Amino acid sequence: MISSKTHSSADFGLIIMTAVAKFILIAFLALIAGSSAEVVQLTVQNFEHLTQATTGATTGDWLIKFYAPWCGHCRKMEPTYERVSELLHGEVNVARVDVPANRELGTRFDVKGFPTIKFLSKGKVYDYAGRRTAEDMVEFAKGGYQIQQPKEIMPALGMFGEILIVFKHAYTQAADDLKKGKFFTIDVFLSFMPIVFLLFVALIFMIPAPTYPPANERKLAPAPRTNTRSADAAPATSESDIPSKKED
């Protein structure tokens, strides 16, 4: 009798221990799942909706990596950036942008190389220029960005806005090229192309259009004289060709 009670108590204790172990395991897995936040993939279509970049309103701060799929440095940095996402989970949103697939965002944020990391906070953008380590990027996102002079985030670009940005960058680079005595670069050509086009249009409008007299005052040109003689007609004879008559 005592033996059966001992076995039942042992079984009950084993059940309790198993249940506690399962609970701890589930809690641990949930903690890991919660801490390993995924990096958000941003595109032209969802960028404004998710980041609220222009207004800087409701979705918090964003650390964004601009990359290209063919970039070796970008691929090498990916595990580190995943670690950054885990360390900043719940504090800063961590995202990435495929620039070749979303060129408008690359132009809008003046991305000139890969990878480029920028921090967006309250309608301002900060450029990250530190080491590509998880600790340095986390420190930057948690307050290190404040030592920089921020720039205003540009509103979303349309087709004409993107063209305007390209010409703006070309003009800035052309000014540097001209200072260095480089007069035949692509940027110089792009900068002066609109001016040449406007001059060409103005020249077209300055050329006077030809004027014609009214139709009722126009004189018809006389019809050209045509030789009505048949090609088969015998040639005319001159007096010298007529034989003179002998006098009787």
Q: Give the range with max mean pLDDT: 16-20, 77-81, 182-186.
A: 77-81
| pLDDT value, residue 19 | 63
| pLDDT value, residue 248 | 46
| pLDDT value, residue 133 | 96
**Alpha-carbon gap, residue 42 to 56, rounded angstroms:** 16
In whole angstroms, what separates CA 151 from the centre of its chain?
19
pLDDT in tens, 192-227: 777 777 787 888 878 876 776 666 665 555 666 666
Q: How many CA atoms lie within 13 A of 78 on its CB side?
A: 14
Are 96 and 42 contacting, i.e. CB atoms less than 8 angstroms apart?
Answer: yes
**CA-CA distances (angstroms) from residue 222 to 9, 53, 212, 215, 217?**
134, 79, 19, 17, 15
| Structure tokens given for 244 | 């003179």
For range 142-159, the mean pLDDT: 86
| pLDDT value, residue 141 | 97
Is the pLDDT confidence value at 235 over 60?
A: no
pTM exceeds 0.85, yes or no: no
| pLDDT value, residue 35 | 44
R_g of the chain computed on alpha carbons? 43
Domains along the chain with CATH numbers: 40-152 (3.40.30.10), 159-206 (no CATH)
Percent of the chain with pLDDT over 70: 63
Question: Residue 169 — very low, low, confident or very high, per pLDDT cuts 50/70/90?
Answer: low
**Which residue in 63, 176, 159 sits closest to 108, CA to CA?**
159
pLDDT in tens, 8-55: 665 666 667 776 665 565 544 444 444 447 899 999 999 999 998 887
